[in-house]
Structure 1
């Protein structure tokens, strides 16, 4: 089990130990510190930090028995990994299967594109597709009952804040498909929607997502019982090597996020002349925009949200905005203001005032102060 210490992977590991009395060798990802340093790590780091969560996950598994941990070699070194596997095989017996879990959990992978540094992006690729390639090489000549990749629905739908997470999962799934075409064994790829367990470990409140978005996503997440039921059912499809598990209509989501059909429909609606809705009751009092830039931003809010008046302190998401409309807002502002803006700008600064400050600070546009 590679990286089965958090989220979906943790629940699968618990199931293997408790329901099947399996002996499980867990390969921790390359970023985990040596086991003797865990207490120091936990004492000096945020409990929701990725490594802290994985340490707690192993301790939970250890109470069930039959669990053994080995560090994943740095840079997924195949020679070192082969030695680890051979040693475990000699000590515990023949391997029956291998599960690659790193792509199944969003913990530690959620970030906006403008915060996707080379270091963090490289880590996503090391822990997801490159680790899978190493496992494939090491277990290539072993007769296993199953080879399983726990991937993410993000490899199909993409998603805001999933720039490197989605692409790294996409590469992992593509590699598995390539391997299946040319090798005598098969990798089963499962592309998972989020489970509610993810919302207990991923600190989405600090990832720029507004409560309106997180509440909407949390409501459609799979429960652990639903997820485990899907897991058992998916293994029964021997003729299917790539299975997608979505909690809602998958084609509707593909049409919305990939084919952009909803976006096209929205554009057509905004061209119509019609009476707009009154400003809803929200947490802030109405305050007029104070300059030409803020007036332009407020006008864009009003047009997209179909509201007759937007104040400078009004929150885009409290007014009824969502991630898809935020994407459209960025497109509109890029055209209107010739500004280099990212979706994360709206997520992090969802008011007319704050967006105006970002634009002025970055010298994207000039704001002329006008009396109101």
Structure 2
């Protein structure tokens, strides 16, 4: 710094003051509580990276870069993703295909023998079958072998293409570092691992050289979404994506060819190969191909394809990265977000204590007495922690559903300062009162509380009334039900006090899905119409010990659960048991008994099953629901696992799919 202060005296160091200013900016950035992951400075302006959703129209003959009968080169064309795109080009545009791969196929005369003597999952067998599939489609295919990092081999390959087909119209680079070798934590990376990225860089340089004199319609570079979201052990994959994006941007500044870059979720293929990164968000092969078709019809040169709310996922990772494992409090306090509600300072000691609790849990510097817990980024899981802190610091035990009825500090403080701080219990909890649509009724899971429905209700919109149905017995006074049939009848009597007749829109989470199913049966028997029966991750006819019972007793039972899901489930259990242990154990055991006693009967109506996406194959309970739903079963797969399906970022996907089902049911 001394040098930079003296340097302006000499003409050749006239930029030193500017450099000193950049250092100051950098220090402020490193010590600030801002959540942004990528920041750029342009003069006096500070730019942050954000992502906007864009509507990509379906491709058609008038809006696509793909020509009918065009010539397209696919690098890695016999790999899973490359073949999917090659097949799309063959079927939609009758394209002439050139597939360039490093490893050659066996001689054609030996193909059948190879497949007969190797497992169906053998990679070479799969590549042979892909080639045969393209030929069955009648596609004209030129199969070439070349190392994409070798200029000589690639130059020779493109010469053969021009000799065979003439002009080339497009290139797809689907050969990358998507291998298990690339998924390693930074401290375990080897020279071999880092060479994968070097090979990618070399292949781009070679591609630039061999295409320098070519005038193509497009050149498409494919990456995974790791460059945006990162991920455990995904450093090489993230670097590959950033490299592709930067390279495409540079090429668009100098080249007549349109260079496109797409970072997408991992793809899930039918051959059983697992998604390389974040499998709970993986797209099916059909979804991936359909998305890329729209990309080729779009005007944007750089896009990311995400199955969940990308900004919500980014916020989720950033806010939870620095949380103290012992206290659950945020390690860094951030600025208060821009809310529609103006800031009002806490007015009394109770409000000040609540504000301090919220600051620690939410990681926000200034919390106002009128601020809404959920608008500040609060979740149902953090709500449980908040009630535990309230009991420790203020000595009051509050019902969990109170947070949905009193979501601000001022409202909670008013309730806490009452002489009798107990809420009147009722099974119906009005979570979202606004809107003219018929209300959606959602039945509690096995633990009985409906606090976990808050995030889902918020994301369904302010025009969708939403009732949660909580279990009898949570107040510690009434006796919980031990059979589903009378439980369903009791809930229906309560529902009819606000909606005497149908059409009814019913839903239930896990154990609550069985209760909602029985409610629909009873309504149908009474001649009432059920417009929608939405079952959220429910086993139709369980033959194993109830998961909720294991949850309450601290046992480890994995039901299509990820490591993150297990951790979240444990936090839920610890929080609930700390405050409401005896009550929740009693309710959970009664519901355990009810579930074991219940035998679902065929339902004459339609059932919509929302199941988590952590299972690679069709779960057994989906097949059981199919047998029960005589009016048909619609299955919606949601990213996440059994314990995270109602939490961000997965709940945004669930809400989007559920909203579409509600709209379709209303239109009937």
Q: TM-score range by the shorter chain?
A: 0.5 to 0.7
Equivalent residue for 1:57? 130
Equivalent residue for 1:254? 314
Equivalent residue for 1:263? 321
Distance 1:222 1:302 in 2: 24
Q: For each residue in 1:332-360, what CA deviation from the matched residue of structure 2 results, as whole angstroms up to 9, or x when unmatched?
A: xxxxxxxxxxxxxxxxxxxxxxxxxxxxx
Distance 1:163 1:46 in 2: 33
State the shift of 1:163 in Å: 2.7
State the shift of 1:49 in Å: 6.3
State the shift of 1:125 in Å: 4.1
1:27/1:72 contact within 8 Å kept: yes
TM-score, normalised with respect to structure 1: 0.62
Distance 1:304 1:69 in 2: 53
Equivalent residue for 2:556? 282
The reply on whether 1:149 has 2:221 as its aligned counterpart is: yes
Equivalent residue for 1:287? none
- Equivalence map 1:13-28=2 (5 Å): 13-28=86-101
1:167 alignment partner, one of 230, 239, 244: 239
Distance 2:201 2:120 in 1: 27
The reply on whether 1:245 has 2:317 as its aligned counterpart is: no
2:121/2:271 contact within 8 Å kept: no
Equivalent residue for 1:111? 183
Distance 1:227 1:129 in 2: 25
1:183 alignment partner, one of 241, 246, 255: 255
Distance 1:223 1:303 in 2: 28
2:182/2:193 contact within 8 Å kept: no
State the shift of 1:47 in Å: 5.6
1:108/1:202 contact within 8 Å kept: no
- The DSSP-based 3-state class of the residue aligned with 1:225 is helix
Number of residue pairs the alignment of both structures matches: 281
- The DSSP-based 3-state class of the residue aligned with 2:556 is coil
2:216/2:258 contact within 8 Å kept: no
Distance 1:305 1:45 in 2: 47
Equivalent residue for 1:9? 82
2:146 alignment partner, one of 72, 76, 83: 72
Equivalent residue for 1:225? 286
Equivalent residue for 1:305? 571
The structure-2 alpha-carbon separation of the partners of 1:280 and 1:55, relative to structure 1 and needing over 3 Å to count, comes to farther
Q: For each residue in 1:228-270, what CA deviation from the matched residue of structure 2 results, as whole angstroms up to 9, or x when unmatched?
A: 33222222222x110111111111122234xx12335654348
Equivalent residue for 1:293? none
1:12/1:228 contact within 8 Å kept: yes
Distance 1:156 1:226 in 2: 20
Q: For each residue in 1:46-91, what CA deviation from the matched residue of structure 2 results, as whole angstroms up to 9, or x when unmatched?
A: 7656666445433433433312211123x62212211211122112
State the shift of 1:99 in Å: 0.9
Higher relative contact order (CA 8 A, sep 6+): 1
State the shift of 1:101 in Å: 1.2
- Equivalence map 1:21-36=2 (5 Å): 21-28=94-101, 30=102, 32-33=103-104, 35-36=106-107
The structure-2 alpha-carbon separation of the partners of 1:280 and 1:4, relative to structure 1 and needing over 3 Å to count, comes to farther
1:50/1:108 contact within 8 Å kept: no
Distance 2:273 2:123 in 1: 8
1:109/1:164 contact within 8 Å kept: no
> Which runs of no fewer than 5 residues in structure 1 stay unpaired?
285-300, 310-316, 323-372
- The DSSP-based 3-state class of the residue aligned with 2:107 is helix
The structure-2 alpha-carbon separation of the partners of 1:80 and 1:227, relative to structure 1 and needing over 3 Å to count, comes to closer
1:195/1:222 contact within 8 Å kept: yes
Deviates more, 1:130-139 or 1:179-188: 179-188
Equivalent residue for 1:359? none
Equivalent residue for 2:3? none
Distance 1:231 1:67 in 2: 21
State the shift of 1:41 in Å: 7.8
The structure-2 alpha-carbon separation of the partners of 1:100 and 1:318, relative to structure 1 and needing over 3 Å to count, comes to closer
> Which runs of no fewer than 5 residues in structure 2 stay unpaired?
1-73, 331-360, 362-381, 393-550, 559-566, 578-639, 646-668
The structure-2 alpha-carbon separation of the partners of 1:156 and 1:109, relative to structure 1 and needing over 3 Å to count, comes to farther
Distance 2:116 2:201 in 1: 31
Larger CA Rg, structure 1 vs 2: 2
- The DSSP-based 3-state class of the residue aligned with 2:241 is helix
- The DSSP-based 3-state class of the residue aligned with 1:237 is coil
Q: Which has the higher helix share?
A: 1
TM-score, normalised with respect to structure 2: 0.37
State the shift of 1:141 in Å: 0.8
State the shift of 1:17 in Å: 1.1
Q: For each residue in 1:206-246, what CA deviation from the matched residue of structure 2 results, as whole angstroms up to 9, or x when unmatched?
A: x8x9xxx75xx0xx4333333333222222222x1101111
1:155/1:170 contact within 8 Å kept: yes
1:109/1:165 contact within 8 Å kept: no
Q: Which has the higher strand share?
A: 2
2:261/2:301 contact within 8 Å kept: yes
State the shift of 1:201 in Å: 4.4
Distance 1:302 1:92 in 2: 57
State the shift of 1:19 in Å: 1.7
2:568/2:644 contact within 8 Å kept: no
The structure-2 alpha-carbon separation of the partners of 1:121 and 1:279, relative to structure 1 and needing over 3 Å to count, comes to farther
State the shift of 1:8 in Å: 2.8
State the shift of 1:178 in Å: 1.8
Equivalent residue for 1:202? 273
Q: For each residue in 1:176-215, what CA deviation from the matched residue of structure 2 results, as whole angstroms up to 9, or x when unmatched?
A: 2122223333311111122332x744346xx8x9xxx75x
